[in-house]
Amino acid sequence: MDRIHGRLADLQREFEIAPANAESPLSWTVRAIILYCKDIIADLGPHRLRGYGPLDEQTSHRLRTALTDLDEIVTRLGSYLEPGEDSEAGRGS
């Protein structure tokens, strides 16, 4: 990895390419984490776990209830970061 990074840095200097601004607003980073959490929650549903063997109806119901609760919490967290709520969201990039 260091070798790749070094070679890219060499090319950047050789071709006088200005370094890209790699910073992202914190709100964008948190939104990405929230979306990732929601994807994981969706992947833990009973229908996705069939490959590990069948779940009885009671376990399936308990799992769906727990995942719904988790999804509601993650969604609520995300609602604090709605576009326009922070000063970074309106910037063009």
Instruction: Read off the pLDDT of residues 27-58 as tens digits, 9 standing for 90 and up.
Output: 888 899 999 999 999 999 998 988 899 999 99
- What residues contact residue 41 under an 8 Å CB cut-off, 6+ apart? 67, 70, 71, 74
Pairwise pLDDT comparison (24 vs 57), residue with the higher score: 57
| pTM greater than the 0.75 cutoff | no
- Domain extents in the chain: 24-93
Rounded to whole angstroms, how far apart are CA atoms 31 and 8?
A: 29
CB-based burial of residue 27 (10 Å sphere; 0-12 exposed, 13-18 middle, 19+ buried)?
middle
Rg of the chain (C-alpha set): 21
